[in-house]
Homo-oligomer: A and B are copies of this chain.
């Protein structure tokens, strides 16, 4: 069983943008610190929820530089390093490894559809070989609802066999529990994270490492409570509670909804901005979302201390 530093509630961190549409490093650093203070087990920055693919590789690397400069522990970071081009992906992975990041989360090359497992294997192995670092811990990012192509069970097995010290885990955002269960059964010791806390208790019972979930941006404490007490008598009730919040969130476009929540509860309206092709919630949607959350008695922790730029 290869070592890897992540467990618990990992958060694919939202990326704030300034009014002119640029990544807002000051707000980003403050928000990352806040999530860790709330109990996040790691920060999967530059994921789907982070609008990572709406940023250039240079923009992503610059934000990571800023986090490290600000003293956020690199070992807690699992930046998304996926790209359609092997050269871009290798540059992002190399940069993360040089910073000492605990791991990287790797999309398959998502432009071409209908590609073979052999083609995806060649891509991932090409990236690993180009980087050539024993420090690299690579987590596969399986998200067919966005990438369409994904990591089949056989391909996962092939990659683990070829790179047992490097390919150490997977985020399963298929939304298909049977796939997550099959991964946990077939690859014991491989760190499997479902992409939603809805599957957290089921995953932990089968040896899962935790979850990497968008809703972590607004509910680390609730999800963490289940993670810390999953063997206890309250586990089912805690699962039901976080599932209820997740279900409420899922009635809205996820990324704009999460940003609207931060903007509202932290009284920081600029947080609501997204980059195209995503579209921010309008006033009516935002009001409906907040009303739904009020019904659940939702609260968000204190606003991050560092003053936003």
A residues at B contact (CB < 8 Å): 21, 48, 53-57, 59, 83-88, 91, 108-113, 115-116, 118-120, 122-123, 126, 145-149, 275-279
Most buried by B among A59, A84, A147, A275: A84
Residues of chain B lying within 8 A (CB to CB) of residue A148 = 113, 148
Question: Would you call A122 and B276 a contact (CB within 8 A)?
Answer: yes
A-B contact pairs, 15 of them (CB 8 A): A21-B126, A53-B85, A54-B84, A56-B85, A56-B87, A59-B87, A86-B275, A108-B277, A109-B276, A109-B277, A110-B110, A119-B277, A119-B279, A120-B277, A122-B279
Q: Helix, strand, loop or mixed for chain A's interface?
A: loop
User: 16 new A-B pairs (CB below 8 Å) besides A109-B276, A112-B278, A113-B148?
Assistant: A21-B126, A48-B112, A53-B84, A53-B111, A54-B84, A54-B85, A54-B109, A55-B85, A56-B83, A56-B87, A85-B275, A108-B277, A115-B278, A119-B278, A119-B279, A126-B276
Given that A145-B113, A148-B148 are contacting pairs, would A91 and B277 also be in contact in the complex, using a CB cutoff of 8 Å?
no
Given that A59-B87, A85-B59, A110-B111 are contacting pairs, would A279 and B116 also be in contact in the complex, using a CB cutoff of 8 Å?
yes
Copy total for this chain: 2
Question: Would you call B278 and A86 a contact (CB within 8 A)?
Answer: no
| Minimum Cβ distance to chain B for residue A116 (Å) | 6
Question: Who on chain B is nearest to A54 by CB?
Answer: B85
Question: Would you call A113 and B146 a contact (CB within 8 A)?
Answer: yes
**Bound CA–CA A149/B276 (angstroms):** 14
**Bound CA–CA A56/B87 (angstroms):** 6
Top-7 shortest CB links A-B: A119-B277, A122-B276, A123-B276, A53-B111, A53-B84, A115-B277, A56-B87
Question: Who on chain B is nearest to A126 by CB?
Answer: B276
**Bound CA–CA A146/B109 (angstroms):** 12
Question: Who on chain B is nearest to A130 by CB?
Answer: B21
Question: Would you call B111 and A279 a contact (CB within 8 A)?
Answer: no
**Bound CA–CA A110/B86 (angstroms):** 17
**Bound CA–CA A108/B113 (angstroms):** 16
Question: Who on chain B is nearest to A111 by CB?
Answer: B53
Most buried by B among A48, A85, A116, A148: A85
Residues of chain B lying within 8 A (CB to CB) of residue A277 = 108-109, 112, 115-116, 119-120, 122-123, 149
| Minimum Cβ distance to chain B for residue A122 (Å) | 4
| Minimum Cβ distance to chain B for residue A285 (Å) | 13
